[in-house]
Structure 1
Amino acid sequence: MSPGTTNSSLLPIMRNEYSLDSVCCTRRTLHTFSHMWIVENFSSYLEDPEPIICLSSSPFSPVSGCSVATQWRLVCYPKGNYGASSNYMSIFLEYIKGERDIKAKAEYSLVNRKCELTEMRKDAQFSIYKCGNSRGFINYVKFDTLTLVENETLDDDKLKIYVRITIMDDAITEETKYQEFDDNESVNFTTRGFESLVKDFTQLLLQSTSKMSDIKIRVTVPYGDCNSDDSFESPVTFHAHKLILAARSPVFAAMFSNRTLENTTNTIDINDLHPNTIQSMLEYMYTGKVTDIKNSTVELYRCADKYQLEDLRSQAEMALMNSLSIDTSAEILLLADQHHSEDLKSRVIQFIVSGNLKAITQTDGWHRYVACTPDLVTEVIQATAIE
């Protein structure tokens, strides 16, 4: 044997063997909940002559966990709190009701007109909140940049503030049975599997061609006026898969289960919806989400109702509620009435009679969509009387 070498057979065999008679586990649960606060006519607060303006949201609470009885609220200073740098808006989270101290941290964002989270600021670590305490950012965002059109932060002069709060419970140690993988790891595997599935189906949609798919959707819409008889754009064709469409929509399932023209020719002709709407519908059917739902919300709602895509209809309905304005309310009211959405109709009528009636009845939308529908006019008048 040469110097410096070792015969491995002479080394003792190292074993990592042990026995377990019992196991305990220390757990700490984190509960996350969120809230969105919409401040209408936000620019009016920036133009107010008062140097310091304080706005407060309504109280909100966690929906689960040990802290469901606690109450919180957001506090906003549009032109800054005392001590804030010039031209900065301040934002705080206040713990307003609870019987014990809470360990929590918060993440603040603004929701722009594309429903994207912007200006994200979050606490670096957990803090102890005593009842009556508030924490946040004095210099949250420069308020003179919020009103710039190119930033797309304000949606019809509405500032949408989104907060996500994480509450840390006390640690608990208890005896448990030994497991190779804990529940959290199982959840992580499930989440990663779902994300991978969405990614793969996104690629399937993007790469669909006449060779890879078995159905094509041909969308033809008229130029300008939808009542035109002979001025049509060139058809836009989408390729898809019958099995996926049928699994997602009862309408497509019935279409492909019978000897319909669409099932025989492997072509679906659509002339009452625009290509962008069909593209958004396919994105939802393949991935469960729509990248920018606000681009065609009204028509996407009609599309979801037509093909009985209930979750997409609910998403579009929520987006419509958030986009209510003096200019859009008449069209949305007619849409809700035509598609028998009582929740959406009630929300629109409440918006109209809550101080906006005069302005809305003077819009082109009112005369185009509502004034010619006596039943809707009657409902608005009756609601006005109650109000």
Structure 2
Amino acid sequence: MYNTVIKSSSSLSLASNESASGGTSNSNFLPNMRNDYSLDSVCCTKRTLHSFSHMWIVENFSSYLEDPEPIICLSSSPFSPVSGVSAATQWRLVCYPKGNYGASSNYMSIFLEYIKGERDIKAKAEYSLVNRKCELTEMRKDAQFSVYKCGNSRGFINYVKYDTLTLLENDTLDDDKLKIYVRITIMDDAITEETKYQEFDDAESINFTTRGLEGLVRDFSQLLIHSPSKMSDIKIKVNTIPSHNSHPLESVDDSNSSIGTFSAHKLILAARSPVFAAMFSNCTLENTTNTIEINDLRPETIQSMLEYIYTGKVNDIKKSTVELYRCADKYQLEDLRLQAEMALMSSISIDTSAEILLLADQHHSKDLKSRVIQFIVGGNLKAITQTEGWHKYVACIPDLVTEVIQATTLE
């Protein structure tokens, strides 16, 4: 029998249990089992998982379904992780709109191909389609990690029935554009390290972060909406921007002409935004007065930002896409910025392209900028240069005009 070192009198031993009749339980024959114990050392085996994402937009998708060719293969441009040990690798998506060889009838096929790298990669992928509401649909993901050798591809030969994508009641195609979103997770090799500790409490190692996620979102939503002023510790005051300065991509409610005031919580804002974290960690005016004054954004935009901070989602991102994009960039809310960027990509048109180009340039978004320039030089240049937006947002910036002209020479 090993002697167990007891650190807490609050622990319960199986040997202390007795039957209801007052007799001795059979558990007396078991060794003392306690929740607390002492350790001399603990070793930890850990491996790092790197995730990165990419979106591929296929325009005039229905034309591929009407093409007489029985097998059509489309490939995306190469893309890479933005950081990590696998940043030098390159990947691409491969789509068969009418299915690959061996696919079931009426199914679209989708694959992820590992096209450049010096070593084998352990990875898995999650595929989704982005509908016109900027929601992820038709989600399919690998059940486990697979070893990718350079040149290998994996995916789903029967991904989704393509004849359902073109139904009028289906929201998957937005202006006949199919948007394919993939998130890839790369697994690094495991490393084991040994660290000395005086005590170790195994209760601390239990991870509860994934339990009750829906309840957490619900409770935080209620905290934002119904929290009394005495429970909040920061006020956000927003001066409304007059409607004549509004963006053509957005609608403005003229009745919202007063200053909007919102109650919030410093800890929650700081946990979600590095900008708010820095603001509340120093002797700033906002931290001293417990008030944040915002003069460059509208109240409905701040309402949407708080909605995202507290719940992780925005109900109607297209209501103020441009301002929400600026807001997300200003307060370094990266996921919200990506959602707004995806919504902007789907709203590019002759009337909006000039403003979106300026926005992408100001906020250093290479993907958005490349996408809108591609739209401009792809047969729409003459019509766009005649719009009011072109003269207002682009014509007065020589560098942007030069970039567009240079792009036309590559077409």
Alignment of 1:348-363 (within 5 A): 348=369, 351-352=372-373, 356=377, 359=380, 361-362=382-383
CA shift in 2, pair 1:350/1:152, >3 Å: closer
Query: Which of residues 98, 112, 129 in structure 2 aligns to 1:93?
Result: 112
AA aligned to 1:326 is S
Shift of residue 160 of structure 1?
A: 2.3
Cα shift at 1:155: 3.4
Is 1:31 the counterpart of 2:49? The answer is yes
1:111-260 equivalences under 5 Å are 111-169=130-188, 176-177=195-196, 180=200, 185=205, 188=207, 200-208=219-227, 233=255, 240-241=262-263
1:83 aligns with 2:106: no
Identity of aligned residues (%): 57
| Corresponding residue of 2:307 | 283
SS in 2 for 1:14: coil
The alignment's TM-score, normalised by the length of structure 1, stands at 0.68
The change in CA–CA distance for 1:256 and 1:367 in structure 2 (over 3 A counts) is: farther
Q: Secondary structure at the match of 1:362?
A: helix
Q: Is the 8 A contact 1:59 1:72 kept in 2?
A: yes
Going from structure 1 to structure 2, the CA distance change for 1:325 and 1:156 (only over 3 Å counts) comes to farther
What secondary structure sits across from 2:151 in the alignment? coil
Aligned equivalent of 1:322: 345
Q: 2:396 aligns with which of 363, 376, 383?
A: 376
User: 1:200 and 1:75 mapped to 2: Cα distance?
Assistant: 41
Shift of 1:197: 7.6
2:389 maps to a residue whose letter is Y
Between the aligned partners of 1:71 and 1:291, the Cα distance in structure 2 is 34
Shift of 1:138: 0.9
**For the structure 1 residues 63 and 346, does the alpha-carbon distance in structure 2 shift closer, same or farther, using more than 3 Å as the test?**
closer
Report the RMSD for the aligned CA atoms in angstroms: 5.3
Q: What's the offset of the Cα at 1:284?
A: 4.1
How far apart, in 2, do the equivalents of 1:386 and 1:164 lie? 32
Distance 2:375 2:405 in 1: 11
Are the structure 2 counterparts of residues 283 and 236 from structure 1 closer, same or farther at C-alpha, using a change threshold of 3 Å? farther
Q: Unpaired runs of 5+ in structure 1?
A: none
Which whole-Å CA distance do the structure 2 matches of 1:246 and 1:29 have between them?
30
CA 1:325–1:43 in 2, change beyond 3 Å: closer, same or farther? farther
- Distance in 1, matches of 2:71 and 2:181, equals 22
Aligned with 2:31 (options 11, 14, 24): 14
- Structure 2: any 5+ residue segments left out of the alignment? 1-20, 247-252
Residue 58 of structure 1 deviates from its aligned partner by 3.2
- Report the count of equivalent residues: 365
Structure 1 residues 147 and 180 mapped into 2: Cα distance closer, same or farther (>3 Å)?
farther
Equivalent of 1:343 in 342, 347, 364: 364
CA contact (8 A) 1:222 1:233 kept: no
Structure 1 residues 70 and 377, CA, compared in 2 at 3 Å: closer, same or farther? Answer: closer
**Cα distance 1:156–1:273, how it changes in 2: closer, same or farther (>3 A)?**
farther
CA distance in 2, matches of 1:223, 1:67: 47
Q: CA deviation at 1:277?
A: 3.3
Cα 1:386/1:203, change in 2 over 3 Å = same
TM-score computed with the length of structure 2 as normaliser: 0.64
- Residue 126 of structure 1 aligns with an amino acid whose one-letter code is F
CA contact (8 A) 1:331 1:366 kept: no
1:96 Cα deviation (Å)?
A: 3.2
- For 1:362 and 1:133, the matched residues in 2 are separated by 43
In the alignment, the residues of structure 1 paired with residue 111 and residue 130 of structure 2 have an alpha-carbon distance, to the nearest angstrom, of 17
Task: Note closer, same or farther for the CA distance 1:181–1:68 as it changes in structure 2 (3 Å cut).
Answer: farther
Distance 1:191 1:84, change over 3 A: closer
Shift of 1:343: 2.5
Q: Is the 8 A contact 1:361 1:367 kept in 2?
A: no
Deviations 1:94-146 (A, max 9, x none): 23344554443322212223332211112233334344332221110111222
